[in-house]
Amino acid sequence: LVARGARGEVLRSGGHGQLDAGLSSEHCSGSRQSEQPRSRRKSSSSSRRRYRSAAEPAMALSMPLERAEGGEQRYLKLSPKHPESNTAGMDIFVKFSAFIKNRRREANEALEKDLLKTLQKLDKYLNSPLPDEIDENSIEGIKFSTRKFLDGNEMTLANCNLLPKLHIVKVVAKKYHNFDIPKEMTGIWKYLTNAYSRDEFLNTCPSDKEVEIAYSDAKRPTK
């Protein structure tokens, strides 16, 4: 995963999902990017190309700054508040891969149902109110969540992981298997619509055509 700070600096996700700032001492002292060694600039450019690849879904996330007491600036936390948001939709890409790689016609229906089940599970999570959306003093219970993303109204690392994969599922399954995410799954469609309105997703999301080319071998089973 790749996340970006408000000034464009790269923040890398570690093996356990923790972020470490990819800043050199020169950067921290305010020197320009052009003064960095050429090899470092080349590596940074390579990283940007990598997370834009349709075959390696990921996205960059602009991180707003908050100002602590005393005027010190610090980055907002990107980890979700609710642990369930980290695992929501985690099986979708696995089921999708099995579905599009299948070459046995008799297995196609079962694999499509497996994919639908994982999508339904995500849709249910997105439509279910989070604990902080529920007012215990309210007489009327909240039936549907009004949040924009997995864990609330702001992007987190969980979205960086899931959204690019969900976009690929939508594009590839439709192109090569005539499979649409059902319109009845309002939680997923609202989630995607909100994501497409954010610059950090649009600027790192590959075009539909690029995705289709990357998955051009995902054809319908013929046997």
Return all residues near 8 (Cβ < 8 A) that are at least 6 apart.
none
pTM of the model: 0.67
* Closest by CA position to 211, among listed 173, 183, 161: 173
Q: Per-residue pLDDT tens for 167-195?
A: 999 999 999 999 999 999 999 999 999 99
Q: Pick the more confident residue, 90 or 58.
A: 90
Q: Give me the helices (H) in 19-104, please.
A: 25-28, 38-51, 84-87, 92-101
Q: Per-residue pLDDT tens for 37-73? A: 444 444 444 333 333 456 556 555 554 445 545 555 5
Residue 92 contacts residue 125 (beta carbons within 8 Å): no
Percent above pLDDT 70 for the chain: 61
What is the C-alpha to C-alpha distance for residues 115 and 205, in angstroms, rounded to an integer? 22
Q: Which helix (H) or strand (E) holds 162?
A: helix 157-177
Domains in the chain, CATH or no CATH each: 2-75 (no CATH), 84-214 (1.20.1050.10)
The 10s digit of each residue's pLDDT in 103-136 is 999 999 999 999 999 999 999 999 999 988 887 5
* Mean predicted confidence (pLDDT) in 158-173: 96
